[in-house]
Amino acid sequence: MRGTSCLTTKRIYGDGSAVNVPVECGGVRVHPGDWVLGDANGVIVLAPAAAAEVLEQALASDAAEPALLARIAAGEPLESILAL
């Protein structure tokens, strides 16, 4: 369920509350220790073990972006740039 709630975040004892347990947000299971990162494009949940690999891929993508933008600005078709 998504939306606004007028309920407070105060913990009510005896309601089954728990700390440091898996939760589900937007259909995604989030475990204690997971990295949750978000921006205007969306949200990603990463297990710590996967974070290093994803970080390497993200840095490589960021490094390639200026060249891709230059090719788009030069009028090159997206089909050839993105190998569609």
Tokens 């993105």: give the residue: 82
Q: Does 13 reside within a domain?
A: no
Residue 48: predicted pLDDT = 92
Residue 60: predicted pLDDT = 92
Separation of first and last alpha carbons in the chain: 36
Question: Per-residue pLDDT tens for 11-46?
Answer: 655 566 788 999 998 899 999 999 998 999 899 999
Q: Does 75 reside within a domain?
A: yes
How many structural domains compose the chain?
1
Q: Does 3 reside within a domain?
A: no
Q: Which domain holds residue 48?
A: 23-81
Q: Does 17 reside within a domain?
A: no
Predicted TM-score (pTM) of this structure: 0.54
Question: Per-residue pLDDT tens for 46-67?
Answer: 999 998 888 889 899 999 999 9
Tokens found for residue 58: 């993200």
Q: Does 38 reside within a domain?
A: yes
